[in-house]
Amino acid sequence: MLLDTTALNQQRNFFDEHDDLWLFGYGSLIWKADFDYLERQPAYITGWARRFWQASHDHRGTPEAPGRVATLIRSPGAVCHGMAYRITPDVLGPLDVREKNGYLREKVPLTFLDHSGNDAGRSEGLIYLASEDNPAFLGEAPLADIARQINQAHGPSGPNREYLLNLAHALRELGVDDAHIFALEKQLG
């Protein structure tokens, strides 16, 4: 079943009354920033781990042959690195459409990093989270099976493989070690 979260997200106005807000990207939002932003800064969130456990029926796959894209799962003690963007609230409308296949806006604490990789302040931020109870959540599978699905899937935004390779490249550029992502990249062949 497909879920369109666009209307739900329009009611999740955690940053009402704010002229700007921080959006934290951990998947395609790291390497595909096709929206206006005022500034960006590497950042991390804690207690969450990045996993290719969410189906993509609309970008990197089709309803008949879904791809797999990143979401976050709760993982005490884990650190998930990504990119934070300071945006104006009007940017959220198009992002809600982009992230409509199961992702909901959530508010989380962010920690920013400076050029040397040291903590450089904190702020509340917004993430798009595809939680375990959304209809497109696929969950865990053997890495080889996930890699096979990613190798085969293709959607309106392009090959699923490209999503994973771009994410691995972007994380490397940020100096981030993410065992799940790099192991999957290796499996892609």
Q: Which stretch binds ligand SIN (CB under 6 A): 23-31, 107-115, 149-157, 181-189?
A: 23-31
| Cα–Cα distance measured from residue 2 to residue 4, given in angstroms and rounded to the nearest whole number | 7
Beta-carbon neighbour count of residue 138 at 10 Å?
Answer: 18
Which residue lies nearer to ligand SIN by CB, 58 or 118? 58
Which residue lies nearer to ligand SIN by CB, 31 or 147? 31
Site for ligand SIN in 122-151 (CB under 6 A): 128
Site for ligand SIN in 34-93 (CB under 6 A): 69-70
Q: How many residues belong to the site for ligand SIN (CB under 6 A)? A: 9
DSSP 5: -
Taking a C-beta distance cutoff of 8 angstroms, is the pair 101, 58 a contact? yes
Catalytic (active site) residue 162: no
Strand residue runs (E) in the chain: 21-25, 39-56, 67-87, 104-113, 119-129, 154-155, 158-159
Q: Where are the alpha helices (DSSP H) in 26-106?
A: 28-31, 92-98
Which residue lies nearer to ligand SIN by CB, 37 or 116? 37
Give me the least distance between CB of 86 and ligand SIN, in Å please: 15
| Cα–Cα distance measured from residue 84 to residue 112, given in angstroms and rounded to the nearest whole number | 8
Which residue lies nearer to ligand SIN by CB, 58 or 147? 58
Strands 67-87 and 158-159 come out as unpaired
Q: Which of 25, 61, 67, 155 binds ligand SIN (CB under 6 A)?
A: 25
Which among 39, 99, 106, 124 is annotated as catalytic?
A: 99
Q: Does 29 bind ligand SIN (CB under 6 A)?
A: yes
> Which sequence positions are flagged as catalytic?
99
Binding site for ligand SIN (CB under 6 A): 25-29, 69-70, 99, 128
